[in-house]
Amino acid sequence: MASFSLALVLLVYLVSPTSSCTEQEKSSLLQLLAGLSRDGGLTASWRHDTDCCTWEGITCNQDRKVTDVLLASRGLEGPISPLLGNLTGLLRLNLSRNSLSGGLPLELVSSSSILVLDVSFNRLTGGLGELTSSIPARPLQVLNISSNLFTGRFPSTTWEAMKSLVVLNASSNRFTGQMPTTPCVSTPSFAVLELSFNQLSGNIPPGLSNCSALKLLGAGYNNLSGTLPDELFKGTSLEHLSLPNNRLEGALDGISKLTNLVTLDLGGNELSGNIPESIGDLKRLEEQGQLRKFVQSKKTRSSFQ
């Protein structure tokens, strides 16, 4: 009897004609579209009388829930609707290389489903905003907000909810204040911190030593000052260290502890002293020959790459 009902339910499910996205999801997407001042011709495909799972740029799962909104390079202009945060099955949102403006809705950053959020190469403004404190852990793994017009300081403690973050790419914006280290404290898998071409100032925070899985640290073309903290050299997982064109000073003594280093760029700073000979022990470091030349010829001003 039970298996008969199950079979019946299955049969009804299989022949059911209502396998289309929900009205609510459709409405969230249509509101994004309605808010845009240029929609890159999406209206032709995003029609109210069709299943939104068939729309251009949209992918759904078997349950007809929207999982991907991929609209990079579509010539979109206007604001990003916070209602995209209502798509409860959304995993990937890519709006890169458009001309979107306004802020990045916090609903998206703190979404309880989004894993990958790429809004790079737009004209987004404002700050990132603090999340409401003590929210549960968020699944976001990749956040690319590079090449926008974001300003202000990085949010601090409330970002501890980002327990799955692997990549934070915020290069080419107008962020000010200290380099953020919050993800180091809360996120064991945090691997890429790219902050080049901003207006960050102050010292390189010792808190970076808590980023035990960090592979790439990029913060060139900022206004960072002070010495390289010893804690930086504890990051033995570090493969790419790029801090050119800041106002860093002091010695490089600890550098040879970074045994996994592949690329190193500290040019255009005021580092002093000898580059330690032991840098030659860094077996993975590329262009070692060229580095050695600088070790011998440039004693006071490092400009090697």
Beta strands in the chain (DSSP E): 58-60, 66-70, 77-79, 92-94, 99-102, 116-118, 123-126, 142-144, 149-152, 167-169, 174-177, 192-194, 199-202, 216-218, 223-227, 240-242, 247-250, 263-265, 270-271
> Which of 160, 194, 239, 265: binder of ligand NAG (CB under 6 A)?
194
Q: Is 217 in the site for ligand NAG (CB under 6 A)?
A: no
**Which of positions 28-87 make contact with ligand NAG (CB under 6 A)?**
28, 72, 83, 86
Candidate segments 11-19, 124-132, 156-164, 205-213, binder of ligand NAG by CB under 6 A: 205-213
> Which of 169, 182, 246, 256: binder of ligand NAG (CB under 6 A)?
169
Candidate segments 9-17, 22-30, 156-164, 296-304, binder of ligand NAG by CB under 6 A: 22-30
21, 23, 28, 32 alpha-carbon torsion, rounded to 10°? 80
- Site map for ligand NAG, 93-112, x if CB under 6 A? -x-x----------------
Q: Smallest distance from the beta carbon of 304 to ligand NAG, in angstroms?
A: 21
From the DSSP assignment, how many helices (H) and strands (E) are in the chain?
5, 19
Q: Identify any residues that bridge with 59 across adjacent strands, giving them in sequence order.
A: 68
- Site map for ligand NAG, 258-297, x if CB under 6 A? ----------------------------------------
158 CB-near residues (< 8 Å, 6+ apart): 130, 131, 132, 133, 135
Tokens of 237: 């997982």
Tell me, what DSSP letter sits at residue 170?
-
* Interacting residues with ligand NAG (CB under 6 A): 24, 27-28, 72, 83, 86, 94, 96, 116, 118, 120, 142, 144, 146-147, 167, 169, 171, 185, 192, 194, 199, 201, 206-207, 209-210, 216, 223, 225, 231
